[in-house]
């Protein structure tokens, strides 16, 4: 069954085809970097050669400036071969859109220093800002900076003063931060999500954006570009980063299971495994779960694109829909990958088998805070029961970025 998807541009379709063509090459390379903490330079180079990193790069800096959704279609192809590569394609390559929110002078500086436009980001940690003439002095340490060894710059959050929340987004160029080799994970093992450390680094004013300016619609840096991508409120987009890698890892596990099962024979009497009804049912259920997740993810991409074209802020119903249903669909992907891995028996747990590896990658993706089950589901119940969710947009109270809000909500 082919599940329909929203119409995409010709350039986006070209990139999806290029990503699909890379799948056999990446799959063949996976054994060579099993257990490595970073993707090999050769895999990153192949994805860059295909132009996958340019989907959201502004056209004035040599990118394609595509509509929202390109990363989803691209990464769900790549992740069928390797969850770590899909993560880089779906998440890290998407971060270039963040640059379009900074002032023009900062954008020029970044793309001059890093013409490939690959940006690592880190928000898990603490950073302290101190005002000095012409900018601020920054010190701190952050974790989960995916792809940082392959990036040409880094964006972190940091706090000025004694308030409870961070106050600024900070853009750093090569040489202004130190990478600590700390990433060691069973799932997504080659994403290179290391810690970064910064000590007394001067950041000029143009590479500092106040939190509520960055997180609101229409930041100043968006004015020099045509695409709506740089003008949107960024928080609702974040769940979509994970949809392609989720779907790709589950689909990759399904494809590998089918290929293996068609050839399998029982270890004792040599019977064909493929003729066993439970095996057939397991494949059928996994396929249904993946199809259902695809429909949800495609619909969220459609809604985000329609929101971008509208020129308005995101509708509360769409925001709530994405919070709930994207997380629910992530569990369908995980369920499919889990049943496929378990269904292969002991032989399917070998490290050389791609199915348990893809399952582990899929499971790791679902642990991200954006896919936290209670946080994603509770607002729907709260609203249905007439209770405030704490999210100003969902509660239809205000869109004023200066109003206090929950730490993990519409804007943060």
CATH code at position 270: 1.20.140.10
SS3 assignment, position 227: coil
CA angle (22, 25, 29) in 5-degree steps = 135
Looking at the structure, do residues 240 and 133 belong to the same domain, yes or no? no
Q: Could you tell me which of 107, 26, 19 has the C-alpha nearest to residue 63? A: 107
Percent of the chain past pLDDT 70, that is, above it, reads 95
**Mean pLDDT over residues 362-380, rounded?**
96
Q: Are residues 124 and 176 in the same domain?
A: yes
224 CB contacts (<8 Å, ≥6 apart)? 58, 60, 104, 107
Same-domain pairing of 275 and 379: yes
Whether residue 112 lies inside any domain: the answer is no
User: What is the spatial distance between Cα 376 and Cα 318, in angstroms, rounded to a whole number?
Assistant: 13
Q: 140 and 237 in one domain?
A: no
Same domain, 255 and 170: no
Whole-number Å distance between alpha carbons of 85 and 32: 14
For residue 123, what is the domain's CATH number? 2.40.110.10
Q: Measured between alpha carbons, how far is 51 from 412 in angstroms, rounded to an integer?
A: 31
Distance CA 405, CA 412 (A): 8
pLDDT for 40:
98
Domain with 383 in it: 232-412
Task: Provide the pLDDT confidence category of residue 136 given band limits of 50, 70 and 90.
Answer: very high
Residue 256 lies in a domain: yes
Q: What is the band of 398 on the pLDDT scale with cuts at 50, 70, 90?
A: low
Let me know if residue 80 belongs to a domain.
Answer: no
Note whether residue 46 is domain-resident: no
pLDDT band at 6 (very low <50, low <70, confident <90, very high): low
Tell me, rounded to whole angstroms, the distance of Cα 318 from its chain centroid: 19
Mean pLDDT of 263-271: 83
In a domain, 52, yes or no: no
Q: Which residue has the tokens 């024979």?
A: 265
Residue 379 CB neighbours (<10 A): 23
Report the alpha-carbon distance of residue 153 to residue 144 in Å, rounded.
15
pLDDT at 346: 85
Spatial distance between the Cα atoms of 57 and 95, rounded to a whole number of angstroms? 9
In this predicted structure, what is the pLDDT of residue 405? 45
Over 90: is that where the pLDDT of 267 sits? no
Q: Are 209 and 168 in contact (CB under 8 A)?
A: yes
Q: Does residue 284 fall inside a structural domain?
A: yes
Q: Mean pLDDT, to the nearest integer, of 60-65?
A: 98
Which contacts of 338-344 are long-range, i.e. CB under 8 A and separated by 24 or more positions?
338/363, 339/282, 339/285, 339/286, 340/253, 340/254, 340/257, 340/282, 340/283, 340/286, 341/253, 343/257, 343/279, 343/282, 344/257, 344/260, 344/261
Q: What does DSSP assign to residue 191?
A: B
pLDDT at 371 over 50: yes
Average the pLDDT over 109-116 and give the result.
Answer: 97
pLDDT tens by residue, 16-51: 999 999 999 999 999 999 999 999 999 999 999 999
* CA-wise closest residue to 394 among 187, 226, 236: 236
Do 370 and 245 belong together in one domain? yes
Among candidates 86, 153, 150, 84, which has minimal Cα distance to 121?
A: 153
Per-residue pLDDT at 270: 81
Q: Are residues 178 and 247 both part of a single domain?
A: no
More confident residue, 267 or 60: 60
Are 200 and 123 members of one domain? yes
Is 182 inside any structural domain? Answer: yes
- Mean pLDDT over 302-330 rounds to 95
pLDDT reported for residue 410: 43
Q: In 178-276, which residue ranges form alpha helices assigned H by DSSP?
A: 211-214, 243-263
Q: What was the pLDDT predicted at 126?
A: 87
The whole-chain average pLDDT of the chain stands at 93
**d(Cα 174, Cα 258) in Å, to the nearest integer?**
45
301-317 in b/e form (b: 16+ CB < 10 A) is: bebbbebbeeeebbebe
Q: What is the C-alpha to C-alpha distance for residues 129 and 99, in angstroms, rounded to an integer?
A: 20
> Are residues 248 and 299 located together in one domain of the fold?
yes
Cα 170 to chain centroid, rounded: 20
Q: Residue 400: which pLDDT band, with cuts at 50, 70 and 90?
A: low
How far from the centroid of its chain's Cα atoms is residue 247's Cα?
A: 12
Q: Residue 407 — pLDDT band, cuts 50, 70, 90? A: very low
Q: What is the number of domains present in the chain?
A: 2
Whether residue 278 lies inside any domain: the answer is yes
CA 327, chain centre distance (Å): 13
């Amino acid at each position: 069954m082919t599940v329909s998807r929203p119409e995409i541009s010709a350039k986006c379709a070209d990139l999806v085809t290029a990503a699909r063509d890379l799948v056999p090459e990446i799959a063949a390379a996976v054994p060579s970097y099993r257990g490595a903490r970073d993707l090999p330079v050769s895999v990153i180079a192949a994805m860059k050669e295909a132009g996958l990193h340019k989907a959201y790069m502004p056209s004035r800096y040599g990118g394609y400036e595509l509509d929202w959704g390109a990363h989803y279609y691209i990464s769900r192809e790549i992740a069928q071969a390797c969850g770590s590569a899909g993560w880089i394609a779906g998440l890290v390559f998407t971060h270039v859109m963040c640059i379009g929110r900074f002032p023009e002078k900062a954008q020029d500086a970044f793309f001059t220093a890093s013409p490939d436009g690959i940006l690592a980001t880190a928000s898990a940690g603490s950073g302290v800002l101190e005002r000095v003439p012409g900018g601020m002095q920054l010190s701190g340490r952050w974790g989960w900076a995916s792809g940082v060894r392959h990036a040409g710059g880094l964006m972190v959050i940091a706090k000025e003063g004694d308030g409870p929340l961070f106050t600024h987004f900070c853009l750093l160029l090569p040489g202004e931060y130190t990478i600590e080799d700390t990433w060691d994970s069973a799932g997504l093992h080659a994403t290179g999500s290391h810690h970064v450390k910064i000590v007394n680094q001067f950041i000029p004013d143009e590479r500092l954006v106040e939190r509520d300016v960055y997180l609101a619609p229409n930041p100043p840096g968006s004015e020099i570009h045509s695409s709506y991508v740089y003008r949107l409120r960024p928080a609702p987009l974040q769940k979509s980063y994970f949809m392609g890698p989720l779907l790709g890892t589950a689909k990759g596990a399904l494809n590998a299971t089918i290929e293996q099962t068609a050839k399998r024979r029982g270890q004792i009497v040599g019977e064909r495994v493929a003729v066993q009804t439970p095996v057939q049912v397991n494949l059928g259920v996994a396929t249904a779960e993946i199809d259902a997740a695809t429909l949800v993810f495609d619909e969220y991409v459609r809604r985000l694109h329609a929101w971008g074209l509208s020129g308005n802020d995101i509708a509360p119903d769409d925001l709530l829909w994405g919070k709930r249903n994207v997380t629910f669909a992530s569990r369908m992907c995980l369920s499919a990958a889990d049943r496929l891995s378990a269904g292969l028996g002991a032989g399917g747990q070998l490290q050389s088998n791609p199915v348990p590896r893809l399952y582990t990658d899929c499971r790791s993706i679902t642990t991200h805070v954006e896919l936290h089950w209670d946080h994603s589901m509770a607002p729907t119940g709260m609203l249905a029961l007439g209770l405030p969710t704490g999210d100003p947009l969902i509660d239809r109270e205000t869109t004023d970025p200066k109003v206090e809000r929950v730490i993990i909500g519409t804007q943060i």
